[in-house]
């Protein structure tokens, strides 16, 4: 008879484990005033972690893709001072800089007039010429086999322009003569206009090279966007054939800056997740205290503390996974808002990052259940009945 009783209690215990999920959902609904804030705190942590990882990765991908070389017809190079100073350019390097250009049409003329006559190969520089005068020999190597050069320069250098016999303004760098076709104010975001007439003459010549020199990687995107706007204005629909290539170390510097910002934001997100874990822990502790009578009755009917702890773990897991799902929804909403507000940012979703968020939510559930589990293991039926 004793064996039959033990078998009966075992069957009851097994049955309760099988229906725990439905039971948990009912309990969580009845205690929603305690549970919902915990779910919301978990969801905010998950949304922040997912957003920081996904959006940061998308920004780095955009930098690499938009600033790298493709098979289009015109190539513009950003080179920093250290590259010009230290690297020696081989014939194959110089060959890579030469891109044939055969435009059937050129876009509408800009309103900027040019004083240049004749055919030119265009060397377009949009930053401080002092960098170039330091490294003039290396620049001459890049310009090997070219004829005439033209440049767009900062207004700050207008005092050192020279005037040629035909009235053209020019500047000498090393042994090279660069004819000035336009100036720009480097302090603002205005377009750097490329004169239409110059572009027509260059296209007839058949070679187009754009060299941008910038010593500060943090400003490279600003320069990139400014010159891209200039090209779009002059070339119109054909501007899609223009690609700007940035040297590898500058791309690495930009992506490194993004990674550093991403790490700080991720640290803040993890702190939010720790706070959320504490909130869930407190919520479950309150649930245990609120359900002492229920636990006492279940213990009196033969249910073990181990089984109650399993129930608690399931409750914790459900709370945290509800938070993960809600966090995913919040991330989708946040991404859509950022896509609308941030130009050039595309929606991205990396499954591995969301899986990482699920893992973080699961770890959070485990730590959230420690204190409530200890409280359950310390429950005493006699003490519970005495407190009633």
Stronger pLDDT, 305 or 112, i.e. the higher one = 305
Q: Where are the domains of the chain?
A: 2-61+258-387, 81-246
Kindly state the percentage of the chain with pLDDT values over 70. Answer: 37
- Backbone φ, ψ for residue 170 (5° rounding): -150, 170
Residue 102 is predicted with a pLDDT of 22
Mean predicted lDDT score pLDDT of the chain? 59
Stronger pLDDT, 297 or 72, i.e. the higher one = 297
Residue 139 is predicted with a pLDDT of 33
d(CA 30, CA 24): 10
Stronger pLDDT, 366 or 176, i.e. the higher one = 366
Edge-first strand listing for the sheet containing 74-79: 209-213, 74-79, 242-246
Kindly state the percentage of the chain with pLDDT values over 90. Answer: 0
Residue 346 is predicted with a pLDDT of 67
Could you give the 3-state DSSP secondary structure of residue 77?
A: strand
Asked whether residue 199 carries a pLDDT value surpassing 60, the answer given is no
- The pLDDT tens digits of the residues spanning 282-294 come to 877 877 777 777 7
Residue 184 is predicted with a pLDDT of 53
Q: Which of 226, 203, 199, 209 is nearest to 89 (CA)?
A: 209
Asked whether residue 71 carries a pLDDT value surpassing 60, the answer given is no
- The pLDDT tens digits of the residues spanning 112-128 come to 222 222 322 233 332 22
Can you say whether residue 78 is alpha, beta or left, with left for phi > 0 and alpha for psi between -120 and 50 degrees? beta
Residue 376 is predicted with a pLDDT of 76
Residue 226 is predicted with a pLDDT of 62
Residue 64 is predicted with a pLDDT of 67
Residue 151 is predicted with a pLDDT of 56
Mean pLDDT of 326-345: 75
- The pLDDT tens digits of the residues spanning 158-195 come to 555 666 665 666 666 555 565 665 555 545 554 454 44
d(CA 379, CA 180): 87
d(CA 135, CA 35): 66
Number of H helices, E strands in the chain: 15, 8
Q: Which of 42-51, 182-191, 308-317 has the weakest average pLDDT?
A: 182-191
Can you say whether residue 159 is alpha, beta or left, with left for phi > 0 and alpha for psi between -120 and 50 degrees? alpha
2-18 helix and 20-30 helix, angle to the nearest 10 degrees: 60
Q: How confident is residue 347, by pLDDT bands cut at 50, 70 and 90?
A: low
Asked whether residue 157 carries a pLDDT value surpassing 60, the answer given is no
Asked whether residue 61 carries a pLDDT value surpassing 50, the answer given is yes
Strands (E), the chain: 74-79, 121-122, 149-154, 162-163, 169-173, 176-184, 209-213, 242-246
Residue 245 is predicted with a pLDDT of 55
Assess contact for 156 and 147: CB atoms under 8 A: no
Task: Judge if pTM exceeds 0.85.
Answer: no
């Amino acid at each position: 008879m004793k064996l039959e009783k033990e078998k009966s209690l075992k069957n009851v215990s097994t049955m309760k484990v099988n229906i725990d999920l439905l039971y948990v959902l009912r309990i969580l609904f009845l205690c929603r005033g305690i549970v919902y804030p915990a779910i919301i705190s978990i969801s905010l942590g998950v949304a922040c972690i997912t957003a920081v990882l996904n959006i940061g990765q998308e920004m780095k991908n955009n930098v690499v893709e938009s600033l790298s070389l493709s098979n289009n017809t015109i190539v513009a190079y950003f080179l920093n001072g250290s590259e010009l100073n230290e690297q020696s350019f081989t014939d194959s390097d110089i060959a890579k800089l030469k891109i044939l250009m055969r435009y059937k049409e050129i876009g509408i003329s800009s309103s900027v007039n040019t004083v240049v006559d004749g055919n030119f190969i265009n060397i377009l520089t949009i930053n401080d010429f002092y960098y170039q005068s330091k490294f003039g020999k290396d620049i001459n190597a890049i310009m090997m086999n070219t004829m005439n050069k033209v440049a767009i320069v900062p207004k700050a250098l207008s005092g050192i322009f020279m005037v040629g016999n035909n009235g053209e303004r020019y500047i000498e760098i090393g042994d090279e003569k660069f004819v000035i076709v336009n100036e720009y104010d480097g302090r603002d975001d205005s377009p750097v206009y490329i004169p239409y007439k110059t572009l027509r003459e260059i296209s007839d010549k058949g070679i187009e090279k754009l060299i941008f020199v910038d010593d500060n990687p943090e400003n490279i995107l600003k320069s990139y966007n400014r010159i891209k706007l200039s090209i779009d204005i002059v070339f119109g629909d054909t501007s899609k054939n223009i690609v700007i290539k940035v040297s590898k170390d500058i791309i690495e510097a930009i992506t490194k800056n993004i990674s550093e910002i991403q790490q700080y934001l991720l640290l803040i997100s993890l702190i939010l997740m720790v706070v959320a874990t504490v909130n869930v822990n407190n919520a479950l502790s309150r649930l245990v205290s609120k359900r002492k009578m229920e636990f006492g009755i279940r213990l009196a009917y033969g249910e073990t503390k181990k089984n109650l702890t399993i129930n608690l773990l399931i409750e914790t897991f459900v709370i945290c996974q509800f938070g993960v799902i809600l966090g995913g929804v919040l991330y989708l909403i946040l991404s859509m808002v950022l896509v609308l507000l941030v130009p050039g940012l595309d929606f991205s979703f990396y499954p591995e990052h969301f899986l990482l968020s699920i893992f973080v939510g699961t770890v959070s559930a485990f730590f959230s259940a420690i204190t409530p589990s200890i409280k359950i293991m310390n429950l005493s039926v006699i003490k519970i009945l005495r407190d009633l």
